[in-house]
Each structure stands twice: as C-alpha cells, then as structure tokens.
Structure 1
Amino acid sequence: MGWLAAGDGYEVALIEGRVAARPTSGRAAGRRLKSLPKALREHPEVDRLRRLAEWLDRHAASCVAQVDTWMVSSLPVPTGVLAQVWPDDAWQTALRDLAVVGDDPDEVGFLRDASGSGELRMVNLDGETVRLSPETVTLPHPVLLPDLDDLREFAAELGVTQKVEQIHRAIWRKPAEVGEKASAVTEFAGGKFVSRFGLAARATQLGYRVSGGYATCRVRDAGRIAEAAVWIGEPYWESEVHTGNLTWHDQDGRTLPLREVGPVAWSEGMRMAAALYAGRQVEEGS
C-alpha cells in the first residue's frame, strides 16, 4: 500500500503494522516522521489505516491458528488449497518452512513455495530443492516425524524459522509400558498457585480452553478426537489451588485408559500439563 493524502500537507501509510506519516512540502518533504502529528491523530484516513492494521493482525493470527490445527491433528491438506492461499503474505508466513510430507511418508521437506498450478517447492533432507505435486500433503506433528533430532539439526543448518511451532515443539513420548488400568498422569499434579483465577488466566494465555474446573486441549489423533484435561480448581474459588492429574477423554466424555491414548494426544496433553505446572509457586531454596 502506497502513501495516501491526509490533511493539509501530509501523507500517511501503513508500515510494518503501524500508521506512519510524512510531510509533502517544506524542508522535511518526503521524510517519514517519528510520530504522528497531532493534527492527524483523529483524521479519517488514519482511523481507516488503524482499523486495517487491526484486521491484518486478526487475519495473521487466524492463519497461524488454522495451520497449527492442521499440524497438531496431522490432517491431510489439499495441495490446491496451499496454492490458493500462498500469495497471501499472512498465509505464506504461517506455512513457510514447515516440514511437509507428500505421497511418500518417508520423504520430508521444508516448504518454500506453492505455485498456482498446485506444485510445491521444498528443500529435502539432502539439501536439494525438489518440486512435488501430490493431491494432498500433511504437516506432521513432530512426535510423528522420524529422526526428529536429525531434522532439527538440519533445520538449524538451513536457518529455518517457523511461525507455527512444529519441529522445535516440545514433545513427550508415551512410555512403551503403561498400567493396564491406569487412566491418569500425576507427574504435573500439585503445582501451587495463589488463586484459581491466576491459574485459569495462565491456561487461557497459553491458548488452552478453560471449562468448569479444567483446562483442556482437544486433539484429533489418528482420526479420533481426544481431549486432555487438567484439574485447575472450581470456578470462583478464591483460595490457593493446586494443579490436578492429567486425564484424557473421548468425544463421548469417556475417560480413556492411558493405553488407548494416541501419541499426538499424549504429547499435547503432557505439553499442556507441563506448561501449566511451570507457572507454579516455587519455594526459595527448593
């Protein structure tokens, strides 16, 4: 977007998400000002740009949220959809450099481009640029990626940065053996917080849903919905609270035995519980 006339002797533009101004005459003509002149702060053109900036921020956040959903659930995404949204800077920022898998589950590459014809350009693990045209791709959850440590090392060499946390996402792998009747993880229980309000606020800030006395995280794992839940205390409870056990439930509300929890649901549930527990009160010297 170029510079737009605003007021007498000024132009305004949206630059890096903020409204900027410059004079059109005088010795400073054409030079960007450090701040908006008072005469422009309530100008309709400035207000329009501010509202546009707010919309762009919301749009960028929604793109990241959608791509994160695709990744966490490892949902197949039509290549044509990626091609259609790629010209949009917000979508491109959310998708660029994500690890992508096409028809061959062992062929992982970092996404660099999506053409209008539906062709994807990726950098594979040999450092070569390849072009693929699969009907759909997946953006795998990192717990499902083979040789994740090697992939992380290679990404560092390439200077890969991801807007959506994928390959450097903290993961937890389910133990090979869990109790036949076990249905809860106690590892992150007992974290002390001054108030339930503070703990609920932390859960919300981290992007988790708070429902009743629980912080929850819903995941589609291998085609099945599983919801991880951590007890955070009764609503409106004003005294100190402690985090409770981590459990998982199916879409009908049935508590899942740990042996039935899939790898992605396990990892995301443990990630949530660990993130909540990390904000606990820690006694000095402990």
Structure 2
Amino acid sequence: MAWLDAGEGYEVTLDEGGRVVARRSGGRQLKTVPKALRDDPGVDRLRRLAEWLDRHADACVAQVDAWMVSSLPVPTALIARVWPDEAWRSALRDMAVVGDDPDEVGFLRDVSEDGGLKVVDLDGETVRMAPRTVTVPHPVLLPDLDDVREFAAELGITQRVEQIHRATWTRPEAFAANATEVRDYAGGKFASRFGLAARATGLGYRVSGGYATCKVRDGGRGTEASVWIGEPYWDGESETGGLGWHDDEGRAVRLDEVGPVAWSEGMRMAAALYAGRTIEEGGNA
C-alpha cells in the first residue's frame, strides 16, 4: 500500500500485517506511530480499513470452508473473478479441487489469463483445468487420502482453510437397530454451561437452545449435527451429551443413514468440545 501524507511532515500506511505504521516524509519507517498522529483522521481511517480487511479475510475463509463441508459446486468463472483479491486468493490457494472427473484431484495454484484454473495434479504436473464448475471436496471424500496428504507435504502445501489435514472420522458399518445417537464423546465435564457454550462458539459452532450444532450438505441433503451442552440458563456444572443428526425437517436421522461428511463433521465437533473438558487429577482421576 502507498504511503499517505498525514501532515506534520509524516506519512502513514498499512504494513503487510495490517498495522498502521509511520515515517518522516520520504524517510525511514518509525518504530511507533507518533503521538501527534494517533488521533489523526487519516490514521483512524487506516485503522478502520485494517479492521475491515481482517473481517473480509475471515469471511473469505469461512465461505471456502462452507463450500468444502457442503460439497457445493463452485463456478470456475467465480473463482477466476475473485482471484485478484488477495484475501480470496489466500483462502483458495492450495485447496484441493475436483473438476468433471471425481478421481482427478489437483491443488489450486493460480488462475490463467483466460479464466482457467492452474492446478498441480497428483503426478506433480501443473495442468490447466477449465470445467464449468469445480468442487472443493471434504477430505473424507478424497480417495487415497493418506497418499494425498503425503504428496501435499512433499509440495509444501499450506492451507488457510483446514482441508487436507482436517481430522476425519469414518462411519462404522453396523449399528444397533434404529440407533440415532453416538455417545463416544458424552460425559465431558465443564465447570459451567457458559464455559462449554463459549468453547462451542469459539470453535465456530452455533449454539441453539441446549445444543451446539453444525450444518452440512451431504449428497445433496441438508443435515445438522448437534451435541447437547446443557440448559441455556443453567449456571452450574455441565457436561457434553450425545451426538445426533437431524434433517431439514428436524427429524432424527438414523446412524446408518448419516452421510460420510455429516458423520465426520459431527464427530469432529463432538471431539473438539470434549477435548476442553475438566481433567480430574489424583487417585480418583
């Protein structure tokens, strides 16, 4: 970003980290913004711009994450259009994408001048991909995920959106007849219901009533996973309850009907909540 005149013989700008910095006109950057400039309108505008840029970057990451957990087709033209925006480019770069052939996975590295996507395929070749839409697959849907992870490590792939190294759970083959609840991560004790709810929201999950929830689209069907976290106004100790899934109509989904993405994301949420539990110490632990 260019240096802007702030008067008093100073210039200001935003550094690469989004922090307001100052210098004497045409001189070297100062260690701190001079006191005389801290209430300057131009400096205030830069601070508000930095806050907006942070929110924009977070929104881009959230959108790409939503595409991934929902298996939604994303128009290639849309990716090409937003690519010049650094926040979008940072969120999208190095994400694994799939075009017309579900077995052809590539890591997105760039967009060509004609709007095609430049990806590195699993043979290490840079190829052009130009289908009408692509998907950003959830890792549980990727064939040979361990091989993909190993190849990503060799390439030095880093992702703003957790995809390749996202923790995944595979649904077991058999359940009790008509079972609708998993209790693998039930019983995690917390000092307060407020603390458990705060952990859920801090992890990016929605708290609704007595539940922490997350929504996905799996195989074209909307599914919401939910974990009981306690009555909303209870101020005493609380603990995690069972994990279940519901369809768009609010009906409980049998475990043997839960899709692979919904299963993995529900278990990921339950495990993340349980990991924050109070750990007992001593002989009774």
TM (norm. structure 1) is 0.97
Q: 1:45 aligns with which of 42, 46, 49?
A: 42
**2-structure distance, mates of 1:57, 1:174:** 37
What secondary structure, in the 3-state scheme, does the structure 1 residue paired with 2:57 have?
A: helix
2: distance between equivalents of 1:154 and 1:189?
36
User: What is the CA-CA distance between 1:116 and the residue it aligns to?
Assistant: 4.5
- Tell me if 1:79 matches 2:79: no
- Cα deviations across residues 261-280 of structure 1 (Å, max 9, x unaligned)? 10000000000000000000
User: In structure 1, the residue corresponding to 2:177 is in which secondary structure?
Assistant: coil
Identity of aligned residues (%): 73
Mapped contact 1:7–1:43 kept (Cα < 8 A)? no
2:155 & 2:203 partners in 1: Cα distance?
A: 29
Residue in structure 1 matched with residue 10 of structure 2 by the alignment: 10
User: In the alignment, does 2:240 pair up with 1:243?
Assistant: yes
Distance 1:37 1:53 in 2: 19
In structure 2, give the amino acid aligned to 1:2: A
For 1:269, the aligned partner's letter is G
User: Contact 1:77–1:136 at 8 Å: present in 2 too?
Assistant: yes
Deviations 1:48-95 (A, max 9, x none): 100100110011001000000001111110100000000000000000
Q: Given that residues 113 and 120 in structure 1 are in contact (C-alpha distance below 8 angstroms), is that contact kept between their aligned partners in structure 2?
A: yes
Q: What secondary structure does 2:181 align onto?
A: coil
The 1-side partners of 2:176 and 2:110 are apart by 46
Contact in 2 for aligned 1:73/1:220 (Cα 8 Å): yes
User: How far is the alpha carbon of 1:96 from its aligned partner?
Assistant: 0.2
Amino acid in structure 2 at the alignment position of 1:192: K
Aligned equivalent of 2:94: 97
- SS in structure 2 opposite 1:12? strand
Q: 8 Å contact 1:97–1:162 — kept in the other structure?
A: yes
Cα displacement (A) at 1:244: 0.3
Quote the residue 2:118 is aligned against: 121
Aligned match of 1:188: 185
The one-letter code of the counterpart of 1:19 is: V
Give the Cα separation in 2 of the matches to 1:119 and 1:155. Answer: 22
Question: Where does residue 228 of structure 1 map in the other structure?
Answer: 225
- CA displacement at 1:146 relative to structure 2: 0.3
Determine the C-alpha separation between the residues in 2 that align with 1:30 and 1:176: 68
Structure 2: distance between partners of 1:179 and 1:116: 55
Q: Which of 194, 199, 216 is equivalent to 2:196?
A: 199
Letter in structure 2 aligned against 1:18: R
Give 4+ residue runs of structure 1 displaced > 6 Å after superposition. Answer: none
Deviation readout 1:221-273 (Å, 9 max, x if unpaired): 11101000000000110110111000000011101110111000000000000
Structure 1 residue identity aligned to 2:12: V
1:157 aligns with 2:154: yes
1:139-159 CA-partner distances (Å, limit 9, x unpaired): 000000000000000000000
Letter in 1 for 2:77: G
Q: Paired residue for 2:278?
A: 281
Q: Could you tell me which residue of structure 2 aligns to residue 19 of structure 1? A: 20
Secondary structure of the corresponding residue to residue 57 of structure 1: helix
Do the aligned partners of 1:232 and 1:244 also contact (CA within 8 Å) in 2?
yes
- Unaligned runs of at least 5 residues, structure 1: none
Match among 255, 259, 262 for residue 259 of structure 2: 262
Deviation readout 1:192-231 (Å, 9 max, x if unpaired)? 0000000000000000000000000111111101000000
Partner amino acid, structure 2, of 1:11 = E
Structure 1: which amino acid aligns with 2:8? Answer: D
SS of aligned partner of 1:6? strand
CA distance in 2, matches of 1:116, 1:182: 53
Instruction: Give, in whole Å, the separation in 2 of the partners of 1:52 and 1:173.
Output: 43
- Count of matched residue positions in the alignment of Structure 1 and Structure 2: 282
8 A contact 1:21–1:33 mirrored in 2: yes
Distance in 1 of aligned mates of 2:94 and 2:222: 27
Q: 1:215, 1:186 → 2: CA distance?
A: 15
Query: Which moved further from structure 2: 110-119 or 134-143?
Result: 110-119
